[in-house]
């Protein structure tokens, strides 16, 4: 009797794991990183992507010195397949939730300022209206939020950074709300006593902010053009709003922070909106296309917009 020889695994049909491997390769930018994210061997990821290339009779990725990039056909396939992969990946959890075998979990990712200043009332109201949904809050740097959603760490994110160029085929961005750019001074500061303050009036005092305080590149360019980051002497360059406010309190200068209008922060500080001159900061909602948890995401978004609109 002839001995049985091991045969190379062959994919005759397009399979979910192949599409998942391609989508992860697109997200992470390399076969090795995709393999690590999926918990499988790198050769397996390459075999699955190569099987798709045979099925579509076209190259889907191009190797580079560091990682790889999608071809035009690969980008098209990821755009079409990503919502399907997301839907299937969330299906098991959604069935378990519907059968009452696990609680419904909604994970929200955003940065420290939004968590502390903007979200508390929205969170309390959401939990009041949806007692069967458990909210989980994930603190991230603002540039990490979209990635946390795309990788599945979070269901929805709040970020001031809009869609990438080219946009991710796995993510949807929608307007959330707008935050003001507020000038922070001590209560007894000359600017606090003025009825009107214009950008040129700020140049007489050092600003305690770092230019990197503002993730929105257009807004940062507007502030730099006004000369606000050239005022001297500058003894501190802070990024986080609570640090900015603390060093304004200590007399290191004046500060600029993003936040909701008419929100009391500290009793010994004066804040006024400068958005008339510097614009407003758009906060986007971001989630994965095809996510079966969209009902809860939309409910959260509706409450968020309603609560923040009522506070204007």
Task: Give me the residue spans of the domains in the chain.
Answer: 16-85, 102-175+283-310, 178-281
State pTM to two decimals. 0.72
Instruction: Give the helix ranges, DSSP H, for the chain.
Output: 16-28, 31-38, 42-56, 72-98, 112-113, 120-129, 145-150, 217-225, 241-249, 275-278, 294-310
Identify the pLDDT of residue 5.
Answer: 47
CATH 2.60.40.1180 fits 16-85, yes or no: no
Identify the pLDDT of residue 214.
Answer: 76
How far is Cα 20 from Cα 77, in angstroms, rounded to an integer? 11
Identify the pLDDT of residue 99.
Answer: 62
How far is Cα 282 from Cα 69, in angstroms, rounded to an integer? 30
How far is Cα 148 from Cα 154, in angstroms, rounded to an integer? 6
Residues 6+ apart with CB under 8 A from 166: 75
Beta bridge partners of 208: none
How far is Cα 210 from Cα 197, in angstroms, rounded to an integer? 21
Under the banding of pLDDT at 50, 70 and 90, the label for residue 3 is very low
Would 102-175+283-310 and 178-281 be classified into the same CATH topology? yes
How far is Cα 188 from Cα 30, in angstroms, rounded to an integer? 56
How far is Cα 103 from Cα 133, in angstroms, rounded to an integer? 7
Q: Is the pLDDT of residue 192 over 90?
A: yes
Identify the pLDDT of residue 254.
Answer: 94
Residues 6+ apart with CB under 8 A from 225: none
Q: Which CATH number fits domain 178-281: 3.60.150.10, 3.40.190.10, 3.60.20.10, 3.50.50.60?
A: 3.40.190.10
Q: Which CATH number fits domain 102-175+283-310: 3.40.1050.10, 3.40.190.10, 3.90.1150.180, 3.30.2320.30?
A: 3.40.190.10
pLDDT tens, position by position, 212-251: 777 677 777 888 888 888 877 788 899 888 899 999 999 9
- Region 87-112: mean pLDDT is 75
Residues 6+ apart with CB under 8 A from 164: 146
Tokens of 312: 């204007």
Tokens 């076209």 correspond to 58
Under the banding of pLDDT at 50, 70 and 90, the label for residue 85 is confident
- Region 266-271: mean pLDDT is 87
Which contacts (CB < 8 Å, 24+ apart) does range 29-36 have?
29/67, 29/68, 29/69, 30/66, 30/67, 30/68, 31/61, 31/67, 31/68, 32/67, 33/67
* Mean confidence (pLDDT) of the chain: 84
């Amino acid at each position: 009797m002839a001995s049985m020889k091991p045969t190379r695994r062959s994919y005759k049909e397009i399979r979910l794991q192949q599409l998942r491997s391609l989508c992860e390769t697109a997200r992470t930018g390399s076969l090795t990183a995709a393999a690590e994210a999926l918990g499988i061997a790198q050769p397996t990821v390459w075999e699955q992507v190569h099987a798709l290339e045979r099925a579509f009779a076209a190259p889907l990725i191009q190797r580079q010195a560091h990682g790889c990039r999608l071809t035009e056909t690969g980008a098209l396939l990821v755009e079409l397949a990503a919502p399907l992969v997301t839907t299937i990946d969330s299906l098991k959890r959604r069935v378990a939730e519907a059968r009452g075998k696990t609680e419904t979990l909604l994970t929200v990712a955003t940065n420290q300022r939004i968590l502390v200043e903007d979200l508390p009332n929205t969170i309390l109201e959401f939990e009041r209206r949806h007692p069967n949904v458990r909210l989980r809050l994930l603190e991230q740097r603002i540039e990490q939020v979209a990635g946390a959603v795309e990788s599945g760490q979070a269901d929805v994110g709040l970020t001031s950074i809009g869609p990438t160029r080219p946009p991710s085929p796995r993510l949807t961005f929608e307007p959330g709300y707008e935050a003001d750019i507020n000038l922070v001074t001590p209560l007894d500061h000359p600017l606090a006593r003025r009825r009107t303050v214009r950008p040129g009036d700020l140049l007489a005092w050092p600003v305690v902010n770092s230019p990197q305080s503002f993730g929105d590149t257009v807004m940062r360019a507007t502030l730099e053009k006004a000369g606000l980051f050239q005022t001297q002497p500058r003894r501190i360059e802070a990024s986080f709003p609570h640090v900015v406010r603390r060093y304004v309190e200590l007399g290191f200068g004046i500060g600029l922070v993003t936040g909701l209008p008419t929100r009391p922060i500290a009793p010994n500080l004066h804040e006024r909106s400068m958005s008339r001159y510097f614009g407003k900061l758009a906060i986007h909602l971001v989630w994965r296309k095809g996510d079966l948890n969209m009902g809860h995401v939309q409910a959260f978004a509706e409450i968020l917009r309603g609560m923040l609109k009522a506070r204007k």
